[in-house]
Amino acid sequence: MTERTELINDIEKLKAERNRLLRQVEEAEQWEGTAWDSFNSLAEHIRATEKKQRIAQNYWDSSRRDIESQFEFVASQIARVKKVLDKKRYELLEGEINELQKEITTLADVLGLEIEELPKHLPFYTLPAEIDN
């Protein structure tokens, strides 16, 4: 009888061990599912970040082209004002300065800046300047 009892006890121990191992397998499967969920979430986050970077780069490239173009317009208008001054064609100066102000305002818009307008009652070139002594 003791041998039978020992066999029954061994069977119970083996069943307990089997149940413990089954629980560990179930727990491992749950952890595997969690790990895959985390991996997929991380992969999705990386794809979203890369997409944001592409969008930001496209925006920057577009903005840079607009800014460079507008700087060229401002530089061109400055050259026209200088040419009018060099030729002493003062009757054209007001129109050229108005055009320069428009180009500078457009540049400020492209840069996303707000600038205060120059006084309308006096041309800016007649404003008092600081003189170093």
Confidence band (pLDDT; 50, 70, 90) for 117?
Answer: low
Question: pLDDT-derived band of residue 19, with 50, 70 and 90 as boundaries?
Answer: very high
Please tell me the predicted confidence (pLDDT) of residue 112. 78
Average pLDDT over residues 38-62: 94
Amino acid at 4: R
Residue 26 CA to residue 38 CA, distance in Å, equals: 18
pTM > 0.85: no
The CA distance from 28 to 25, in Å, is 5
State the pLDDT at residue 114: 73
Give pLDDT, residue 21.
Answer: 94
